[in-house]
Amino acid sequence: MKSPLLIGTHLPEISKTSLEILKNQELLAINQDPIVGTSVAPFRWGINPNWVSNETHPAQYWSGESENGTVVMLLNTLNKPADMFFNLTESPWLRAGRKYSVRDLWAHTDNGTAIRNFTATRVPAHGVVALLLKDAGDEPEGLEPPCVWTEWCMDRNGTLIG
Name the percent of the chain lying above pLDDT 70: 84
| Residue 17 DSSP code | H
Give which of 56, 129, 55 is closest to 86, Cα–Cα.
129
The DSSP output letter for 154 is B
| CA–CA gap between residue 92 and residue 95 (Å, rounded) | 8
Per-residue pLDDT at 106: 93
Instruction: Indicate if the pLDDT at residue 114 is higher than 80.
Output: yes
What is the predicted pLDDT for the residue at 69? 94
Among the listed ranges 2-11, 59-68, 121-130, 145-154, which one has the minimum average pLDDT value?
145-154
pLDDT at 61: 92
What is the identity of the amino acid at 127?
Answer: G
Q: Is the pLDDT assigned to residue 113 strictly greater than 70?
A: yes
Q: Cα(36)–Cα(77) distance, rounded to whole angstroms?
A: 28
Q: CA-CA distance, 35 to 16, in Å (whole number)?
A: 31
- Where does residue 130 fall: left (phi above 0), alpha (psi -120 to 50 degrees), or beta otherwise? beta
Say yes or no to pLDDT of 2 above 70: no
For 45-73, the pLDDT digits (tens) are 877 666 666 777 788 999 999 989 999 99
Omega within 30 of 0 (cis) for the link into 140: no
Contact (CB, 8 A) for 76 and 47: no
pLDDT in tens, 145-159: 666 666 666 676 777
Pairing verdict, β 61-66 and 98-104: unpaired
Write down the pLDDT at residue 145.
Answer: 66
Sign of CA dihedral 10, 26, 3, 87: negative
Q: What percent of the chain has pLDDT over 90?
A: 46
Instruction: State mean pLDDT over 33-52.
Output: 77
CATH number given to 40-152: 2.60.40.1180
- Residue 30's pLDDT band, with cuts at 50, 70 and 90, is confident
